[in-house]
Every structure is written in C-alpha cells, then in structure tokens.
C-alpha cells in the first residue's frame, strides 16, 4: 500500500511546480514586450535593466513566498481556502503589475514605468507581512528572510515616491537599481535555498 504522506508531498510539490511555471510564463511574457519594442535610448536601456533584475527577483515568489505559507495550511480547510483567496491571487497580481511595468516601458512612458514598480513593491510588502504574520503569529521566531525583503522594499519605495512626486526621473533608475542590488546582496542564499544552512 503506498505511503499517503509521500503521495501528499508529491501532490504538494506538483502544485508549487505548476504555480512556478504559470508565474514564470507570465513574467517572461512581460519582459518579451520590452525586447520587442527595444530602442537604443539610455532611458529605455535603464528601464530594461531594471525590468530584467525585477524579473530575476520576483521569479522566486512562488517557491519562496507561496510554498512556506502553503505548507502551513496542512490540516486546516480554512487556511487552505485563504491560500486560494489571498495568496494565489496576490501572486497573480504580482505578475500582472510586472507585465504592466513592461508595457509602460515599451510605450516609452518612463515615469509610469517606475510608478508601476512602486505598485509592485507595495503589493510585495503587503504579501510579505501577511506571510510573516501567519507563519509566526506570536512573533517568537522572527522571519529574517521575510523582514529583509520587506525593509528593503519599504525604504526604497519611500525614496521612489519622493522622486516620482518631484519628477526627478534620473534618480529613479538609481533607487530602483539599489533596491534590486540590495535584494540580491542580502538574500542571495535565500534564493539559492541555503537560508536554513547558515
């Protein structure tokens, strides 16, 4: 007789794998738009660099954001419903906002490209906080990997809103680049799956 726990693990892994593929396709679809309308312009190239870095960063959302909260739903029908009503839609919203970013860049609308990036960071902050609160509701085991992303995104989001408001466009690229580079420097081991081995 097959082990039911192994079967559950396989079904769960298939669920995460399928979510990763669907999410990756939606992200790649957006970046393809940037490539399709590419022009030799410094502002466009800057936006394409940011779009590429954001694609790499947010590619891991299904495995690193959705997976830990999905694991916590085992044995709870209510939590499983919340997963499909909150987390899966938020994952999709990330991909839709990213696609919108790419469309705006392909239309050479640089101001709104960075505004859409701010919207993406805002949704990501909300999602990370909600994940952290559900995995560790009492706050006993503070999730370092989650708080690093949240703090980095919040700090850079505040700076970007200021520059957007005053239309200081040339600084938007540097703040967005800083956000991506800080993310990679602080959480590279998390993306590679080594966070539990430190």
Task: Please write the tens of the pLDDT for every residue from 28-63.
Answer: 899 999 999 999 999 999 999 999 999 988 887 776
Distance CA 22, CA 198 (A): 31
pLDDT at 138: 64
Which tops the pLDDT comparison, 16 or 108? 108
- The percentage of residues in the chain with a pLDDT greater than 70, rounded to a whole number, is 80
Over residues 130-143, mean pLDDT = 70
Q: Output DSSP code: residue 192.
A: T
The pTM assigned to this predicted structure is 0.84
pLDDT interval class at 107 (50, 70, 90)? very high
Over residues 102-117, mean pLDDT = 97
CB contact at 8 A, 59 and 8: no
Which tops the pLDDT comparison, 193 or 197? 193
pLDDT digits (tens, 9 = 90+) for 149-165: 889 999 999 999 999 99
pLDDT at 1: 46
CB under 8 Å to 159, separation ≥6 — which residues?
175
Instruction: Output the CA–CA distances (angstroms, integers) from residue 29 to 7, 9, 26, 53, 61, in the order listed.
Output: 33, 30, 5, 15, 16
Q: Which residues of 73-103 are buried (b: 16+ CB within 10 A; e: fewer)?
A: beeeeeeeebbeeebbebbebbbebbbbbbb
Domain ranges of the chain: 4-197
pLDDT interval class at 5 (50, 70, 90)? low
CB contact at 8 A, 54 and 113: no
Helices (runs of H) and strands (runs of E) counted in the chain: 9, 0
């Amino acid at each position: 007789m097959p082990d039911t726990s192994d079967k559950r693990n396989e079904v769960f892994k298939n669920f995460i794998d399928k979510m990763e593929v669907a999410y990756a396709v939606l992200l790649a679809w957006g970046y393809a738009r940037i490539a399709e309308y590419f022009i030799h312009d410094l502002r466009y190239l800057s936006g394409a660099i940011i779009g590429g870095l954001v694609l790499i960063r947010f590619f891991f959302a299904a495995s690193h954001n959705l997976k830990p909260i999905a694991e916590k739903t085992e044995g709870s029908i209510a939590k499983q419903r919340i997963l499909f009503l909150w987390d899966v839609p938020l994952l999709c919203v990330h991909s839709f906002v990213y696609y919108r970013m790419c469309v705006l860049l392909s239309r050479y609308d640089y101001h709104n490209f960075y505004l859409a990036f701010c919207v993406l960071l805002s949704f990501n902050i909300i999602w990370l906080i909600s994940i952290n609160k559900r995995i560790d509701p009492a706050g006993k085991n503070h999730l370092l990997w989650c708080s690093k992303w949240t703090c980095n995104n919040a700090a850079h989001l505040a700076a970007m809103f200021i520059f957007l408001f005053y239309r200081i466009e040339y600084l938007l690229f540097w703040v967005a680049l800083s956000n991506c580079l800080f993310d990679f420097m602080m959480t590279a081991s998390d993306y590679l799956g080594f966070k539990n081995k430190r």
